[in-house]
Amino acid sequence: MNKIFSLVLLFFFANPVFAFDREEQAVIALYEKINPAIVCVDSQISDGMSCGTGCIIDKNGTILTSAHVVDVGNSVVVTMSNGQNYNAKVIKKLGENKDIALLKIDVPTELKTVKLGDSEKIKVGQKVLAIGNPFGFNGTLTQGIISRIDYTKNRIQTDAAINPGSSGGPLLNKNGEIIGINQAIYNPDNNISNIGIGFAIPINLVKEYLSEMDSS
């Protein structure tokens, strides 16, 4: 019996995939697929750096992020998931409540991209994932649900952890499609850390803004 038990343990540790259930395997696979298309966006300011996140939406180097991540910067540097750095140009920027910006980097090869989803189909209670660079911890994955949909203010509320540095990153559905761009956290006590209330701009609204950019 001990010999059989030892063989079972040996097989288990030699095949670590069996350590994860189906849901975990799906999340791991999604992260490994999407993370190469998520970048760190550093904008140089007078007293340091403003850090945020961006999503590669075009294989030639077009990056979607939040306008407030780059609106104070003298220069913008994008860091890929593999650590490669590129100087980025701000192509378009929509401030105020729109808070969307497009960056462009010149790359020698085609890049991995992330797909824009449909935020009209989202439901409260739906599981979501967020990938970003909170406090400079690149490629951080968090998970939660859609907590509330504010149709008046066009905001998706989620309990997936979003912190400073996560702005501009994707809120993803289980298919790995962007349903929102993470924008802000609720901090009534002026605490800069997450308390379980974060907000994202619905991706359909972002797509409208992108269309406006293209036609302008």
* Active-site residue identified among 50, 68, 119, 159: 68
Joined together, the tokens standing for residue 19 give: 């350590």
Look up 150 and say whether it is catalytic.
Answer: no
Sign of CA dihedral 7, 8, 13, 17: positive
The burial class, CB within 10 Å (0-12 / 13-18 / 19+), for 200 is buried
- Alpha-carbon span 216 to 198, nearest angstrom: 31
Give the span between the Cα atoms of 16 and 11, in whole angstroms: 9
SS3 content of the chain, % helix, strand, coil (to 5): 25, 40, 35
**Which one from 43, 50, 166, 167 is the annotated catalytic residue?**
167
The tally of CA atoms less than 13 A away on the side-chain side of residue 85 is 6
Of 42, 99, 159, 166, the catalytic one is 99
Q: How many residues does the chain have?
A: 216
Residues 153, 185: Cα–Cα separation, whole Å: 15
Query: Does residue 68 have an active-site annotation?
Result: yes
Q: Is 6 a catalytic residue?
A: no
53 membership: H or E segment, kind and range? strand 48-58
Q: Catalytic residue numbers?
A: 68, 99, 167
